[in-house]
Amino acid sequence: MSDDAIPTDLAERFADGITTAADGAWEIAVSAEQLRETLAFLGADRQPAFDYLVDIFAVDYGEQFEVVYHLSRPRTHEMVRVCSRLSRQKPSVQTVTDIWAGASWPEREMMEMYGVAVEGHPDPRNLLLPEGWKGYPLRKDYEYPDDHPWLSRDELHDKPGEYLKQHPVEE
Amino acid sequence: MSDTYAGQTDELLINMGPQHPSTHGVLRVLLRLDGEIVLDADPDIGYLHSSLEKIGEAKTWQQFVPYTDRFDYLSAINNEFAFVRAVEKLLGVRVTERCEYIRVIMAELQRIASHLMYFTSMGLDTGAVTVYLHCFRDRERLIDLFEDATGQRLLYHYLRIGGVRNDLPHDFVARVRDFIDYFPARLQEYDNLLTRNRVFRGRMEGIATISREEAVRHGMSGPCLRACGVDHDLRKIIGYSVYPQFEFEVPVYDTCDAMARHLVRCDEMVQSLRILKQATDKLPDGETNVKVPRVIKPEPGAVYERIEGPRGEVGCYLISDGSDKPLRMRWRPPSYFNLQPLPQLMRGGYVADTVVAIASLDIMLGDIDK
């Protein structure tokens, strides 16, 4: 990670909004409205652009969600972390697949795991979960399904003592 | 009758996988074919999804270490490396010099083992079945080393927060040196069997190309990126652990095709031997572990740790809220981003090249599906 000083163009543009995190990444906290513009600047307009997409994911903080974008440049150890807090009621971001083609899958994962809507995504299907999965698994308030056709809870494995009492093994 | 249908072709939608000997795990690729030419490919993943990120929020910091093995199960040490370093950063703990050396030795042995596995599957997928037996003969030597040091052949749970599980056996270094002497001749053998084989080269050269710009925008890393001419290896760029103390080169090729990825991996094995030689020569004595509290409760904060695994950049983002379990455990798998441009690699090629495309990326479904 970069222990170097924040580059002047980023310091000018973001002023107090950019800090150096504990692990050396340059952390930029933006509001949901400025998110797309910030990412477009970092990934396309800025020279040299942060064109290496490291990761995109969300975090559930309880009252709010946060989407985090990790960007870097190849052959350097510079890393930018763009964070944006979203409301829990209707979390929504715009896609960045036009800037980084590799954003497609992480955004799909964010949509299915957290229920964060990604506007403009070219292929908004579930990525890891089967089609039609109810609920958003990585949310803190996710309830595990009781009535899934092939993944239902199993009394024998969940509560073996009770199950065995009700179904005693015959001698 | 035959004139009525002359020149008319239909597109064929065919399923490849998820049970398939050449998809490197449970990967399903929906292929749209026009005869033998691939018009489009749609990878469908998630068959191995084990909700490990959710489990990461339910287990304590130490309890999660064995789970990290299971992400990229052919290079378990590198996964543990990323996670354990991230937790140590959160705690502000510095491990001993001996521990760092042991970790690097294990990581490089693991890199060779992983690349040998790649060789195996590359050979199998292109039809060279004998290579499998040759590679596994040598992989067994490495696995024996791991078994003696860690007790396990594949999923070690060896790297721990604050150190390693136990010190190396007394004859370990001597046996690693034996391996370093023994292996270059085997590499020559693999060169003759596979890399210089005319049939193999015909199947690999010019196949499954992706441009440098697209590879970077997709977040590809590791040998896939270094085959596109991008000199990006985190061991050199970040220089984590004790890698800056070793002299080694980073092989880079620029033809962006499957053959380039193959050559990068061949050369990486040679460079790993160099690192191993230097590491075993300079291995310091001393303690391997530092004291770490029994119940780990890092200060609230977040850290992203990246290391260079055999398949690319392995990343672990941990958020601590001061409790004994992570608030968020995000795994950044290399194979996930390497697999994404698969449609581009396959489009316009033949059906037979689909297998080569997947094999040349050297993906690991455990990583992709988390």
B197-213 pLDDT, tens per residue? 899 999 999 899 999 99
> Does the pLDDT value for residue B126 go beyond 70?
yes
B74: burial class by Cβ within 10 Å (0-12, 13-18, 19+)?
buried
pLDDT band at B25 (very low <50, low <70, confident <90, very high): confident
B265: burial class by Cβ within 10 Å (0-12, 13-18, 19+)?
buried
B292-312 pLDDT, tens per residue? 999 999 999 999 999 999 999
> Does the pLDDT value for residue B2 go beyond 90?
no
pLDDT band at A1 (very low <50, low <70, confident <90, very high): very low
Domains and CATH numbers, chain B: 11-369 (1.10.645.10)
Judge: B54–A129 Cβ closer than 8 Å, yes or no.
no
φ, ψ for residue B184, nearest 5 deg: -55, -35
Query: Considering only CA atoms, which of B325, B294, B333 is closest in space to residue B55?
Result: B325
Judge: B219–A55 Cβ closer than 8 Å, yes or no.
yes
Domains and CATH numbers, chain A: 8-141 (3.30.460.80)
Query: Considering only CA atoms, which of B203, B214, B200, B254 is closest in space to residue B342?
Result: B214
Distance of CA A163 to the CA centre of its chain: 39
A–B CB contacts, 8 A cutoff, strictly below: 100
Q: Which two tokens stand for residue A108?
A: 């799909």
pLDDT given at position B23: 67
Residues of B in contact with A113 (CB under 8 A): 53
Residues of A in contact with B225 (CB under 8 A): 74
End-to-end Cα, chain A, rounded Å: 65
Average pLDDT, integer, range B349-368: 91
* CA distances (Å), origin A71, targets A2, A49, A67, B219: 12, 10, 13, 9
- The region of weakest confidence among B23-32, B65-74, B94-103, B319-328 is B23-32
pLDDT band at B11 (very low <50, low <70, confident <90, very high): confident
Q: Tell whether A14 is within 8 A of chain B (Cβ).
A: no
pLDDT band at A47 (very low <50, low <70, confident <90, very high): confident
Q: Tell whether A151 is within 8 A of chain B (Cβ).
A: no
Judge: B306–A54 Cβ closer than 8 Å, yes or no.
yes
Instruction: Give the number of other CB atoms < 10 A from CB of residue B42.
Output: 15
d(CA A82, CA A39) in angstroms, rounded, equals 8
Distance of CA B315 to the CA centre of its chain: 12
Query: Are A69 and A81 contacting, i.e. CB atoms less than 8 angstroms apart?
Result: yes
* CA distances (Å), origin A62, targets A22, A46, A139, B90, B139: 23, 34, 9, 22, 47
Residue with tokens 């039609």: A132
- Detail the DSSP E strand segments found in chain A: 18-20, 26-30, 52-60, 64-72, 79-87, 92-94, 117-119
The rounded percent of chain B whose pLDDT value lies above 70 is 98
Beta bridge partners of B52: none
The rounded percent of chain B whose pLDDT value lies above 90 is 79
Q: Which two tokens stand for residue B257?
A: 């095709």
Check if the interface score ipTM surpasses 0.95. no
Stated length of chain A: 171
> Does the pLDDT value for residue A111 go beyond 80?
yes
Find the CB nearest A101 among B218, B234, B315: B218
pLDDT given at position B113: 94
Query: Considering only CA atoms, which of B59, B172, B45, B205 is closest in space to residue B106?
Result: B172
Q: Which two tokens stand for residue B302?
A: 């977040």
Find the CB nearest A1 among B220, B230, B238: B238
Residues of A in contact with B341 (CB under 8 A): 101-102
B68: burial class by Cβ within 10 Å (0-12, 13-18, 19+)?
buried
**Pairing outcome for strands A79-87 and A26-30:** parallel
Average pLDDT, integer, range B120-125: 90
> Does the pLDDT value for residue B173 go beyond 80?
yes
pLDDT given at position B1: 47
Beta bridge partners of A45: none
DSSP string, A117-161: EEET-S----SSSPTT--S-TTSTT----SS-TTT---HHHHSHH
> Does the pLDDT value for residue A152 go beyond 90?
no
Distance of CA A4 to the CA centre of its chain: 27
Query: Are B186 and B134 contacting, i.e. CB atoms less than 8 angstroms apart?
Result: yes
* Of B160 and B20, more confident: B160
Judge: A130–B46 Cβ closer than 8 Å, yes or no.
yes
Query: Are B309 and B75 contacting, i.e. CB atoms less than 8 angstroms apart?
Result: yes
pLDDT band at B249 (very low <50, low <70, confident <90, very high): very high
Q: Tell whether A24 is within 8 A of chain B (Cβ).
A: no
Judge: B327–A100 Cβ closer than 8 Å, yes or no.
no
Residues of A in contact with B51 (CB under 8 A): 137
**Mutation for testing the B interface, residue in A27, A105, A123 having most B CBs under 10 Å:** A105
Query: Considering only CA atoms, which of B135, B303, B45 is closest in space to residue A130?
Result: B45
> Does the pLDDT value for residue B117 go beyond 50?
yes
Query: Considering only CA atoms, which of B48, B56, B50 is closest in space to residue B330?
Result: B56
Query: Are A109 and A127 contacting, i.e. CB atoms less than 8 angstroms apart?
Result: yes
* Of B10 and B334, more confident: B334
Judge: B89–A22 Cβ closer than 8 Å, yes or no.
yes
* Of B3 and B129, more confident: B129
Half-sphere exposure of B348 (CA within 13 A, CB side): 7
- The region of weakest confidence among A138-142, A162-166, B264-268, B336-340 is A162-166
Report chain B's mean pLDDT, rounded to a whole number: 91
φ, ψ for residue A59, nearest 5 deg: -130, 140
Q: Is the omega angle on the peptide bond into residue A48 within 30 degrees of 0, that is, cis?
A: yes
d(CA B107, CA B109) in angstroms, rounded, equals 6
The rounded percent of chain A whose pLDDT value lies above 70 is 91
* CA distances (Å), origin B227, targets A71, B31, B260, B274, B359: 21, 25, 5, 21, 14
Query: Are A86 and A60 contacting, i.e. CB atoms less than 8 angstroms apart?
Result: no
Shortest Cα–Cα distance, B159 to chain A (Å): 21
Average pLDDT, integer, range B3-21: 79
Average pLDDT, integer, range A120-126: 90
φ, ψ for residue A26, nearest 5 deg: -90, 115
Residue with tokens 């509560």: A159
Shortest Cα–Cα distance, B151 to chain A (Å): 30
